[in-house]
Structures are given as C-alpha cells and as structure tokens.
Structure 1
C-alpha cells in the first residue's frame, strides 16, 4: 500500500501556508522568516507551533490562533492552490493497477478537504482513505498516524510505502517500520535522511513503487 502525505506531496500548499504562518507569527511579535517556518514547522501538526513558541519565549499564542491561521490559509487556497504536477497521473496508475493507497496528513480534515475540493483531488480520496493527525494523540514525527492509517486500511506496516517531503514525516514513517520515498521538490535531499529512495519529479515515482 502507498501512503501519501498531503501538503507538498499531493497539493502545492507548503509555500502558501508557510508564507502565511511566518507572517502571522511575526505579526504577533515572534519574528519568523519563510525559511524559519519551513525548517521548524513543515510537515508538522499545528500544535508544534504552539509548543515551539511557548518553549522559546515562555509566551502562549492567542486562543484564536488556529482559527485565524486556518481562515487565512483557506482563503489563499481558494485563490492559489494547485495539485503537485504529476500527482493525478500517479493516482490514476495506482487505481488502474489495483494498488491500495491512502493519505496521512498532519493537517486537519477540514484543511485536507478544502485543498482537495479546490484541486479536484477529492475525486481520488473518499473519507475512508483520509487520515489526519486529528485522529491520533500525537502527530509526526511520532509514528502513530501512519500506524493508524495502516491499521484502518488493513495492511501490515511492513507492506506500506510512504511518500513524504518533510524530515518530520520521514522520521515518523521510519519509526512506523515503513519504507519511504522522499520527495525532494522543496526539501534538500540531505534533510530527508532515512528515506529508502529519493525522487524530485512525480513521473519518477511509479518505478520506485514496484
């Protein structure tokens, strides 16, 4: 079975969301560059942002932080979001070949659905194929989300291949005992240590999954 991450793997959301996150944190008095946001938060659930800011500054983010952030991100998604080039073709091939697949994302179910409706990926992912960090106690880099997805899909972890683009996601997949194909479109290969294989273009992925 193939388990896809969502942000940065299926939809080109990482530049959008990290630009907004960096600007919002800076606005709140926590100076953060786009590069800082990618390094510290890419691939993680939003609670990591709260935990990191509290640890570094001793201050909590506002109680409405998540709602305001999601509102800004969803509005930007409606304007800008696109599927990753080649992702639909890979999904078509998996479906045609009868290969099981699903999605396991640090993002909320609402975030996933908003992005999929905008990009047309909702055609390929019904509710039974979508798993969010909301479904488990700990998000990536803990293995819980990937193990939960495998269990719900009825597949042993050692029969799963994860497609990930973040160091946190790679750590989670390895901890779950799964092979990983690391997508290097936005993350340098040296930051994806632990991936079984690396690829920079989705057209390369089917051959890696054989």
Structure 2
C-alpha cells in the first residue's frame, strides 16, 4: 500500500535528542531526591510529555515536583540542544526522498512547540518543517499513548488514519499509533523490538525506511 501521509515522531526519530534529554532528566530528578538512572529515564519517560514525569513521581513517592520543574528542565535541555544536538543520521535523505516522490509528511511530538523549534533550528530541520506540518501534544488534551495527537495530525493534514504510517521509536508512541488505527514503523536504534511490540514493521537505520515505504 502506498501511504498518503508519513507521520514522524521528533525526538529520537528526526533529532538525536533522547540521549541528551534523558541524561538531563535523570540528573535533575536525582538532584531533587528521586534517584533515577539514565536507563530508568529511557524506560519510564522516553516518548512521553513532561506531565508523565509529574504523574509517575507523585504516584511512586507521594511527593510533587517543584513548581519550577518544567521551566528548569526545559532550560537545561534547550541549552544542551544548542550545544550538541544533531539530526538523526540519514533522516534528511529520507525527507528528500519523500519530497521527490511527492509523499506528504508531518511530525507529531510529545514535546512542546518550543522544544521542537529549538531542536530544528540547531539541526537545520527547520528547512523541512513549517507550522502547517508540526503538531505537538500541546495541541491536544492527551499525549501519547492516547491516540489524540496522531488523529489530530491526520485530520489537519486531510488524510484518513488508515492511510497514514507513523515512524516511532518509543513504546508509548507505538501504542498511540496502534490506538489511532495507523500502521507504525518502529525505529530500533535505541529501543529493542521487545519494547516496541505491536509495530507493523521494524528498522534499525534510516536508510532502511524508504524501501519499507515502497520508495
């Protein structure tokens, strides 16, 4: 089947941000008295919006994170992005191929619009994404694993969910895509097949994606 829309996750799929972001998150939570390793941060928070961090910490400890948590976390993360962030290897070639083949694409991210923009300015991906094809969990009531964000993106792009394919690298993202009734191609560069169970297909390098899309 030729898909009518390719929906990209952002963190870990377009920009190689997960190592940076989860190192910072784990360090900050530990600093606040919630010891968290890098591996635990990936396991619990990769692919989710920041409200999940608040929810899990409260559920596990009965303590709320400080009011300035989001602001401080974002400031530290954005500073690291400005210093070190790079695009995922091979993803620009994938975007060029989609343009050449006339296949519409967009992104649907758990991150804020500001986070997306900061990362895209640093990596040059702002040449490939504009306001009309960028969607954030900020735009909907519930983030991943709820299907709302992917359904919102499909509706705004004018494509039926069953004609969309999502490119994801997180367990929560795969669950959200499946719940939205979309095929999902799981990128396993950082996450195992087992953690991404339920995906339609799997691939480990970006140069493997166009053939899987029939391009």
Q: TM-score, normalised by structure 2?
A: 0.97
Specify the alignment match of 1:119 in structure 2: 123
How does 1:1-210 map onto structure 2 within 5 Å?
Answer: 1-210=5-214
Cα deviation for residue 170 of structure 1 reads 0.1
Cα deviation for residue 12 of structure 1 reads 0.3
1:145-165 Cα shifts (integer Å, max 9, x gaps) = 000000000000000000000
Q: TM-score, normalised by structure 1?
A: 1.00
Q: Give 3-state SS (helix, strand or coil) of 1:3's partner.
A: strand
* Distance in 2 (alpha carbons) for counterparts of 1:107 and 1:208: 27
* Distance in 2 (alpha carbons) for counterparts of 1:207 and 1:138: 33
Cα deviation for residue 200 of structure 1 reads 0.2
- How many positions carry a matched residue from both structures? 210
* Distance in 1 (alpha carbons) for counterparts of 2:212 and 2:71: 39
Cα deviation for residue 2 of structure 1 reads 0.1
Cα deviation for residue 46 of structure 1 reads 0.3
Q: Give 3-state SS (helix, strand or coil) of 1:62's partner.
A: coil
Cα deviation for residue 189 of structure 1 reads 1.0
Uncovered stretches (5+) of structure 1, i.e. residues with no partner: none
* Distance in 2 (alpha carbons) for counterparts of 1:139 and 1:129: 17
1:141-189 Cα shifts (integer Å, max 9, x gaps) = 0000000000000000000000000000000000000000000000011
Q: Give 3-state SS (helix, strand or coil) of 1:99's partner.
A: coil
* Distance in 1 (alpha carbons) for counterparts of 2:84 and 2:189: 18
* Distance in 1 (alpha carbons) for counterparts of 2:194 and 2:148: 25
